[in-house]
Every structure is written in structure tokens, then in C-alpha cells.
A and B are shown apart, each in its own frame.
Chain A
């Protein structure tokens, strides 16, 4: 599934440009959002790697899911993910997206983000420190440059799997385009 066709020269050039300028939409859902402002300001500067903030989903490449997700927020997150333009990447932040984290026995949060959206990279920690965030984002940049970050294509291929899981958790989800 990964080597369906080889990466041509044009795609290699676009990946070279893509990994040097990522614009990030940080979806601050849980308590993890408090570690992002220190990463963006003067001490652990994130903009020297080319990563900058984006204002709307239509202008963003990277969706950063910080923390736990209740079912109400998951529905809005899926609408946001489907509005982004390709190529797009999802990063899961903190241990609540890996296996439920601190809220593993709560009736209202979801336990694995992997079943609803295709995740490229997880950053572990409850909350990860800014050095850990930068380490994870730099590894994501290497992954984009070699062409292995293909989450958006897997979403399109296995769309029935993802849709079935989403409807099991949420009931009915509106699909517009």
C-alpha cells in the first residue's frame, strides 16, 4: 500500500518545500493547550524552523490535537479535518490520544484517536515539555521530506473503516463534501 507508485521528481520538490514551511492549526481541546504558548514565544522559538500559526482550517497543513476529546468535540474535529486541503497531517499530543490517559475510565471521552482519524506521530507525556514538542515536530519534518507521511491517502482508501468507527461513537455525522 505504501509503494503504489514511485515518487516523481515534481513531488520530491514539493515535499522539499512543504517540510520547510508548515502552518499549524492548534485545536486546543484539553489541558494540553497550555504547553503551546511557551513553545511559540521567545525562549523555545518555533518559528525559526518555519512553523507558523494559521488562522483557519482552509489555510492550514498540520492539525495538532492536544489532549482528551469528548464525543461532542470529536464531531467538530472531524468537520474541521475534512475542511482542510491536501496534503494534511495530524499529530496527537499527550497520552490521552494514545490510550485514554488519565481519563481512561470516563464514560464520555474517546480512548484511541487512531480509529477515527489517521495520525502520523504521537508525542508522549502528560503534558510534554516544549523540548519534547520540538523533537516530535522535527521528526515529523524528516518524515515529510522522505515521503513517508501519507496519512491523507490512507484516509481516502480506508474510508469505510473510519466512517464506521465514527458513526459508532457519535451517531449520525453530516457529510457535505
Chain B
């Protein structure tokens, strides 16, 4: 009984911690982009105020499926969070494999798709079809690289892949397989929706995509979902390619470095069209990933 209570408290703490950290990272990104453009930006605690304001507005609902879609998106993302090791905090990650995490990440997109079906706006369905098409694009090179790594280290659990890189700084996958790391970084840009791959949000073309009809608390839930998604994807990248960490503070430092690099690269480029984005992923990154995996195997 006490154990169940302790586990429930741990669930709550991990969720609140990663959501707060994700919102802080979003604020830091806005400040970095502002300084690149030679101006002061909003203060770095701005997303907290945005979320508080959004939960205080009235919102109208479009029916049961719309509500259920928002809850499913947020719930799916929280469920994925428990299978990834964050620094020294393991919850269920002893039994979590990489393939399970990728499978669960799709539930969030399906939840948003259900929400857009309920709202009935054609721009929302355009946005969500672009997001799902892009997922089709970036999964291919990512899975090719993952199968290469699984073959090399003969294990597919994330904790196992993390511990195989222990023992020194030159053992990280960043230095033993640098080309695979670069391809995985390009895939990370597509997963997080940064430019040049942000055709699914596209604020002036289709009116910000799937969240076009949400206002008030639904938009607040979507912002929280986005913040937890950022933490999941960054943690996955750091665990697989940068060696993970035992201490939570060093882990946060590594995630921050990857995040600032991705933001700086993303602030320079314009936007790909969705067909060009998917074909880009299937051309050069896929060929280089296949060459790299053949190199690993033989």
C-alpha cells in the first residue's frame, strides 16, 4: 500500500518536473532567437505566464470527441515519459526498449488527429495530415540507424545502450560513429518541428495547423504536451548518442547544449514544403544511414 503511494508520488513529481523544465527550455529558445536577431526578447519565464493566462480564459468546446482528443494527446505523452531514464531517475525504464518508446510517441499525434476531427475546420485537418506525413518521412533513417546500434551492442533497452557507452568520454557514440550522430540530429530537427521542417505548424499559411480551433484551456493543454514532448525527444537523443548521465544536473546540461544548437540552426532556415521535406529524408540521409549500418555490420 505504501509502495503504491510512493510510486504515485514519484509519477507526479516526474511529470511536474519535466513539464516545468520543458517550459523553461521554450523560454530560453525564444530568448536565444531574439538575441540572434539583435533585440531583447521576452523574459525567460514567459511561457509560465502564458500557460496561467490560458487556463483562465473561457473556451468553447465542439463536442465530446474534441475534448477526448486533447486528453488523449496529453495522456499519451505522459505515459511515454515513464519509460525513458532521466539522469539517475529510473521509473519503469528497466523494462523499456527503444522500439516501445517510438511506438508510444505516435499516440500523441493520433490524439491530436482525433481532436481535429471533432473540430470540423478544414485547416486543422490539413495541418494534421502534414504532421503525419512528416512522421512517415523521418522514421525511416532513424530506424535504420537504431537497428545498426542494436546489432552492435546486442541489446535494445535504453539503459543497456546507455551503459554500453560508459567508461570515458571517447566511448560516446558521438565519437565512435559520428555520421550516425549527425543523421540522428537531422531527424531530431524534424521530430521537434523546428525549421526547416515546420510545415505542420506554419502560422501564416494554415493558421497554426491542428490547434486552430482551440482557445483557452485546450491551448494550454497543447502547450504542456509540447513541452513534455521536447524533454522526451532530447532525453532520447542524449541517452543514445551522448552517453547519458548518472547525475541529473549533468544530464540537464547536456540537454541544454543540444537544444541551443538545434535552436540556432533552426533560426536560420526558411520552411520546406511538405513534399520536399519527406523526399529530403528519403534521399541523402537514408543512403548515408544505410552505408553506415553496412559499415557497422561487416
* Residue pair A20, B207 in contact (C-beta under 8 Å): no
* Residue pair B212, A56 in contact (C-beta under 8 Å): yes
* Residue pair A48, B40 in contact (C-beta under 8 Å): yes
* Residue pair B215, A59 in contact (C-beta under 8 Å): yes
Known: A18-B53, A50-B46, A86-B57. A58 touches B214 (CB 8 A): yes
Q: Which of B253-298 contact A (CB under 8 A)?
A: none
Out of B38, B59, B203, B216, name the residue touching A55 (CB < 8 Å). Answer: B203
A142 close to B (CB within 8 Å): no
Known: A17-B52, A20-B49, A86-B58. A55 touches B40 (CB 8 A): no
Out of A21, A55, A84, name the residue touching B53 (CB < 8 Å). Answer: A21
B163 close to A (CB within 8 Å): no
Per-position binary interface string of chain A over residues 47-74, scored 1 when its CB falls under 8 Å from any chain B CB and 0 otherwise: 1101011011011010000000000000
Looking at A17, A52, A84, A177, the one whose CB has the most chain B CB atoms below 10 A away is A17
* Residue pair A14, B41 in contact (C-beta under 8 Å): no
B219 close to A (CB within 8 Å): yes
Out of B38, B49, B56, B215, name the residue touching A50 (CB < 8 Å). Answer: B49
Q: Which of A21-58 contact B (CB under 8 A)?
A: 21, 41-43, 45, 47-48, 50, 52-53, 55-56, 58
Shortest CB-to-CB span from B245 to chain A, Å, is: 34
C-alpha gap A6/B57 in the complex (Å)? 19
User: Size of chain B's interface in residues, with CB distance under 8 A?
Assistant: 30
Shortest CB-to-CB span from B212 to chain A, Å, is: 5
With a CB–CB cut-off of 8 A, which chain B residues contact A18? 53, 56
Shortest CB-to-CB span from A38 to chain B, Å, is: 12
Known: A20-B49, A58-B213. A85 touches B59 (CB 8 A): yes
CB-based nearest A residue for B215 = A58
A87 close to B (CB within 8 Å): yes
Known: A18-B53, A48-B42, A55-B203. A85 touches B215 (CB 8 A): yes
With a CB–CB cut-off of 8 A, which chain B residues contact A85? 57-60, 215-216
Per-position binary interface string of chain B over residues 119-142, scored 1 when its CB falls under 8 Å from any chain A CB and 0 otherwise: 000000000000000000000000
With a CB–CB cut-off of 8 A, which chain A residues contact B214? 58-59
C-alpha gap A112/B215 in the complex (Å)? 30
B34 close to A (CB within 8 Å): yes
CB-based nearest B residue for A59 = B215
Q: Which of A7-23 contact B (CB under 8 A)?
A: 14, 17-18, 20-21
Shortest CB-to-CB span from A35 to chain B, Å, is: 18
Shortest CB-to-CB span from B235 to chain A, Å, is: 28
Out of B39, B40, B56, name the residue touching A14 (CB < 8 Å). Answer: B56
B157 close to A (CB within 8 Å): no
Instruction: Tell me what chain A mostly uses at the interface: helix, strand, loop, or mixed.
Output: loop
CB-based nearest B residue for A85 = B215
C-alpha gap A61/B219 in the complex (Å)? 13
* Residue pair A17, B58 in contact (C-beta under 8 Å): no
Shortest CB-to-CB span from A23 to chain B, Å, is: 8
Q: Which of B191-212 contact A (CB under 8 A)?
A: 203-204, 207-208, 211-212
Known: A50-B46, A85-B216. A56 touches B207 (CB 8 A): yes
With a CB–CB cut-off of 8 A, which chain B residues contact A86? 57-58
Out of B38, B53, B207, B215, name the residue touching A17 (CB < 8 Å). Answer: B53
* Residue pair B39, A42 in contact (C-beta under 8 Å): yes
* Residue pair B57, A87 in contact (C-beta under 8 Å): yes
With a CB–CB cut-off of 8 A, which chain B residues contact A84? 215
* Residue pair B56, A55 in contact (C-beta under 8 Å): no
With a CB–CB cut-off of 8 A, which chain B residues contact A177? 60
Per-position binary interface string of chain A over residues 127-157, scored 1 when its CB falls under 8 Å from any chain B CB and 0 otherwise: 0000000000000000000000000000000
Known: A45-B40, A48-B42. A17 touches B49 (CB 8 A): yes
* Residue pair B42, A50 in contact (C-beta under 8 Å): yes
* Residue pair B41, A47 in contact (C-beta under 8 Å): yes
Interface residues of B (CB under 8 A from A): 30, 34, 37-43, 46, 49-50, 52-53, 56-60, 203-204, 207-208, 211-216, 219
Jot down 9 A-B pairs with beta carbons below 8 A, ordered by A: A21-B46, A47-B42, A48-B40, A52-B42, A59-B208, A85-B58, A85-B215, A86-B57, A86-B58
Interface residues of A (CB under 8 A from B): 14, 17-18, 20-21, 41-43, 45, 47-48, 50, 52-53, 55-56, 58-59, 61, 84-87, 177
| Additional 4 contacts, C-beta under 8 A, given A21-B46, A45-B40 | A42-B37, A45-B34, A45-B41, A47-B41
